[in-house]
Amino acid sequence: MNTGIDRLLAEPDLRRTLHGRRVSLVAHPASVTRDLTHTLDALAQCDGIELASAFGPQHGLKGDKQDNMVETCDELDPLYQIPIFSLYGEVRRPTDAMMDTADVFLFDLQDLGCRIYTFVTTLLYLLEAAAHHGKEVWVLDRPNPAGRPIEGTLLLPGQESFVGAGPMPMRHGLTLGEMGHWFIARYRLNVAYRVIQMTGWRPDDAPGYGWPQDRVWINPSPNAANINMARAYAGTVMLEGTTLSEGRGTTRPLELLFAAPDIDARAVLDAMQTIAPHWMQGCALRECWIEPTFHKHAGQLCNGLMIHAEASFYDHAAFRPWRLQALALKAILALHPDYPIWRDFAYEYEFDRLAIDVINGGPALRDWVDDAAAGPDNLDTLACADEQAWREETEPLLLYR
């Protein structure tokens, strides 16, 4: 399997188009070649490529910022003496001055295949800025490690945010190269756009189902530690909108279905099996104990459930993390109706909505969890219609079949 940057480096005809033009790069720590050379270094060594600037998304070009809403400053690269602009600092959208530094913008970010992962929104903002300034954008495509499955309700009009770039479900099933085509069509962007496609990516093939077995996993953000997290993330990210721990402050963040000091995980597991056992397929759930060193419940012993969407426990077609997480929240409130489960705080600079609604692109999931009379079929009715609509809308855009 060769990524977009592998092909760009290996094929002179692709690079020839960049000769004589100023080039900028959007990258993070997982922006590496097959031999683990960072894309910035690889491009700097290419004859005929003039690196003029670079950009870092959320968590920074270096990936050193641990938590959400921790900003990165602009800086000057000490080796190449080019400006490194932050797209998660004073601005989220590239400014006029930033766009003036280059003619072609190469976008090389490893994504997780989830709407809320902010690299998707960063791509939209770059495309919009490029359309305004007459610049060109190339996506150096990379795998969607969660593969092609689609899950979740569509983001509602008016619910857009930095974690909600448009009316897409939580798990969108696209690569960022494909997503760029969707953005251009959806928002009618007049922009010069090109995808340097991967070769050999087979998202339906075992055992990787999206993640090639010949590629090393490198964290695209500090808490994205492995393929198990990438598969579970479309569900576990909802914990950021709750008072339950998602495992930040431990070595396995966002691989937990929940953890808390005042909840019996085994009782929750039993309740889940009573409410919707068919939503628990495709993975193993294991009781665990954690004591976070920071973040929620720091220094407290918490009981929880660990998700294992890996090895022989993983069934790619059956695993539905968004429903699984919704089920866990439903079970907790069934056992503890007065539990203060929803976290009320500013989430990704959204101050007027509950974080769980920002995450889900509307209140439908929270309403379903809160409604004791609502069953699995009620949420399925909403989600299945949206999932099918998204599947039909994006099928013509698929580059890898």
Share of residues in the chain with pLDDT > 70 (%): 98
Band (pLDDT 50/70/90 cuts) for residue 118 is very high
Render the burial of 142-159: b for 16+ CB within 10 Å, e for the rest.
Answer: bbbbbbbbbbbbbbeeeb
pLDDT of residue 108: 98
Average pLDDT (39-55) is: 95
Residue pLDDT, tens place only, 160-171: 999 999 999 999
pLDDT of residue 61: 86
Residue pLDDT, tens place only, 347-391: 887 888 999 999 999 999 999 999 999 999 999 999 999 999 999
**39: Cβ–Cβ under 8 A, 6 or more apart, which residues?**
5, 25, 27, 31, 32, 33, 106, 108, 140
Return the bridge partners of 307, or none.
285
Residue pLDDT, tens place only, 305-321: 999 999 999 999 999 99
Q: Kindly report the number of other CB atoms within 10 A of residue 253's CB atom.
A: 22
Q: Would the pLDDT of 63 be above 80?
A: no
> Would the pTM of this model clear 0.85, i.e. be above it?
yes
Q: Would the pLDDT of 71 be above 80?
A: no
Share of residues in the chain with pLDDT > 90 (%): 92
Residue pLDDT, tens place only, 5-21: 999 999 999 999 999 99
Residue pLDDT, tens place only, 219-266: 999 999 999 999 999 999 999 999 999 999 999 999 999 999 999 999
pLDDT of residue 70: 65
Average pLDDT (54-59) is: 92
pLDDT of residue 81: 95
pLDDT of residue 124: 98
pLDDT of residue 83: 96
**241: Cβ–Cβ under 8 A, 6 or more apart, which residues?**
342, 343, 347, 354, 355, 356, 357, 358, 359
Q: Would the pLDDT of 345 be above 90?
A: no
Q: Kindly report the number of other CB atoms within 10 A of residue 399's CB atom.
A: 14
pLDDT of residue 346: 84
CA distances to 296, 387, 390 from 393, rounded to whole Å, are 39, 10, 5
Domains and CATH numbers, the chain: 4-220 (3.40.50.12170), 227-370 (3.90.1150.140)
pLDDT of residue 62: 76
pLDDT of residue 355: 95
